[in-house]
Amino acid sequence: MTNSLGSVKIARLDEVEPGKVKVFNLGQEAIALCNVDGKIYAVKDVCTHDDGPLGEGELNGCQIECPRHGARFDVTTGKAMSLPAVLPVPTYKVDVQGSDIFVSLE
The set of residues, in sequence order, having a beta carbon less than 8 Å from that of 4 and lying 6+ positions away, is: none
CA torsion, ordered 99, 44, 105, 93, to nearest 10 deg: 50
Residue 3 has a pLDDT of: 61
Percent above pLDDT 70 for the chain: 95
* Cα–Cα distance, 13 to 85 (Å, whole number): 30
Q: Where are the domains of the chain?
A: 8-104
Question: How much is the pLDDT for 4?
Answer: 53
Please enumerate in sequence order all residues whose Cβ is within 8 A of that of 47, keeping only pairs 6 or more positions apart, or say none. Answer: 53, 54, 66, 68, 69, 71, 73, 85, 89
Share of the chain above pLDDT 90, in %: 87
Q: How many residues belong to the chain?
A: 106
Domain 8-104 CATH assignment equals 2.102.10.10: yes
Question: pTM for the whole thing?
Answer: 0.93
| 56 pLDDT tier (thresholds 50, 70, 90) | very high
**Residue 26, pLDDT score:** 87
Closest-CA residue to 67 (of 82, 47, 81): 47
| pLDDT tens-digit series, residues 62-103 | 999 999 999 999 999 999 999 999 999 999 999 999 999 999
